[in-house]
Amino acid sequence: MDPISAGPRRRQILAAGAALPFLAAPRLARAAPGGLVTAVLESEVVILDPHVTTAAITRSFGYHVFDTLFAMDGKGQIRPQMLEGHTVSADQLTWDFSLRSGLTFHDGAPVTSADCVASLNRWAARDSLGRMLLAALDKLEAVDASRFRMNLKKPFPLMLDVLGKPNAPVPFIMPARIVQAAGEQRIKDIIGSGPFRFRADQFRPGDRMLLERFAAYSPRAEEPDFLAGGKAVRIEQLVLKTMPDDPTGASALTAGEIDYMQYLPFDHLALLGRNRQVKLIGLGGIHMFQGNYRLNHASGPFADPAVRQVLWKLVDQSQVMQAIGIPEQYRVDACPSFWMCGTPLETAAGGAVAKLDIAAAKAELARTSYKGEPVIMLEVAGSISQTAGQVLAQNMKQAGFTVDEQLMDWGTVLARRARREGWSLFPVYSNGVDNISPLTHFYVANNCADYPGWSCDTSITTLLEQFAAAPDLAARQALAEKIQAAAYALTPSVMWGQFARPAGYRARLKNFVESSFPMFWQVEV
């Protein structure tokens, strides 16, 4: 398939979600809350502090336990969430924000502007877009208990997009006292003001986590709409269950032992599709995922850019996704765009180097500094990313690399990747919504930042700043092409495919919003 122009099947897959990012929630019946829902998400929630990681599972946890000042709706618009409103001065340098009344933390303390100031300062220092905001910021301060103000040194047109972004780490609000107690460490008390309350006393690592409806939560008056609107919880308890592997989870869904599974194994889809008690979710466009091999630039073989470049000749996206077993209707066989295919910023700039050619890769590797040292690949055992890693490892060995594949769980990968030494790459995949812009793509946006992989090209930093200040879509598209061309040369990661990961839920769940984000505040049993 032509990697630049989409054929009929590919256009159909992409169009399924490209025009409208997320489906709006149905209007809810106002029944009394009740019932318990058991869900299996992509993995166990290992890191509970949502400011310190880009892990999607922590973000999913965060959206249930914490709340945000702004949030994205089903049309991709940013709407107030914790805020009553905001005002902006004529020169765009003073922003005043007002909290809505009735906001309460899970420990009973009221949410104040001081909590917002502390949370934003903590989050911004750890986030690529947050750091851009800090660069424009002169002063952030509480005006009174319900109002806070940002004085800027220069206009920052991305203000609402940044404060309402769904990309991890999300600017969740938490108590100032907890932020201050944590210092540079992770927070110890998981207390938010979101629609669910984390029950620390019921947490069983490796088995289950319990989230309870927060009775004192004050939802907005509007209907829920993706991450925005009124999050009126209609169930009493949400159990996040850990399963040993995907097939076990799929069998539990079939048997009615669980109510929802985020990522179904592809070889179970046909059987599940014939089960009238199970509903499948398989969305295209922005709801799809992008697979990447993240490379470590700080140490090991990939500290040499010439060695990194060899990998572009060792990956064929179609080969990887076929090995995983992704059915044709759930994949895009060749997408050269860092910003996903089927999106406004899709581009093939720089992508000519990405063509499987093992013989050419072998000859190119021989001309580099590589002397046979082990390439340490971290793989999540039993996952589709493990299969993606195995395909690359085989091609690398044929080209002359020594590959050390190490199997572990995702939590261990997160811990290992935080160190600058001891690993070379890991296969991973992430939500399309995280990759559709240079400002949010994990491995491009975190250029020259203290972020696992430590890739850095100062020209990309300048281009990202220009992109953030671009006046219109045409200007952003032109800059996105330049950024992508530079990224192909830098090689922060190598894409291994764009695909959908179908989810499934029991038919007994009503008002379930079909999205690539798991959301349970609108669900009824």
Tens-digit pLDDT profile for residues 365-380: 999 999 999 999 999 9
Q: Residue 14: what pLDDT?
A: 54
522: tokens are: 């609108």
pLDDT in tens, 36-71: 999 999 999 999 999 999 889 999 999 999 999 999
Q: In the structure, what pLDDT confidence band is assigned to residue 3 with cuts at 50, 70 and 90?
A: very low
282 vs 242, higher pLDDT:
242
pLDDT at 1 over 70: no
423: tokens are: 């690993």
- Per cent of the chain over pLDDT 90 is 83
Burial 488-513 (b: 16+ CB within 10 A, else e): bebbbbbbbbbbbbbbbbbeebeebb
Q: Indicate the SS3 state at residue 524.
A: strand
Task: Give the end-to-end CA distance of the chain in Å, rounded to a whole number.
Answer: 44
Q: Residue 75: what pLDDT?
A: 82
The CA-based angle 455-457-462, given to 5 degrees, is: 130
The residue extents of the domains of the chain are 29-238, 289-499
CATH number given to 289-499: 3.10.105.10
Average pLDDT over residues 435-464: 95
Average pLDDT over residues 88-117: 98
Average pLDDT over residues 474-480: 96
Q: What is d(CA 327, CA 456) in angstroms, rounded to the nearest whole number?
A: 36
The CA-based angle 521-16-54, given to 5 degrees, is: 50
195: tokens are: 């629609």
Q: Residue 471: what pLDDT?
A: 82
Which strand ranges, in their side-by-side order, compose the sheet holding 331-332? 331-332, 493-499, 289-295, 425-431, 374-380, 402-408
Return the HEC string of 379-429.
EECCCHHHHHHHHHHHHHHHHCCEEEEEEECHHHHHHHHCCCCCCCEEEEE
Q: What is d(CA 160, CA 180) in angstroms, rounded to the nearest whole number?
A: 26
Burial 130-139 (b: 16+ CB within 10 A, else e): bebbeebbee
How far out from the chain centre does Cα 161 lie?
Answer: 16
Average pLDDT over residues 289-316: 98
Q: What is d(CA 291, CA 476) in angstroms, rounded to the nearest whole number?
A: 24
Least Cα distance to 522 among 47, 145, 155, 74 occurs for 74
Q: Are 81 and 75 in contact (CB under 8 A)?
A: no
Fold observed for domain 29-238: D-Maltodextrin-Binding Protein; domain 2 (3.40.190)
How many of the other CB atoms lie within 10 Å of CB of 435? Answer: 29
Q: Residue 30: what pLDDT?
A: 46
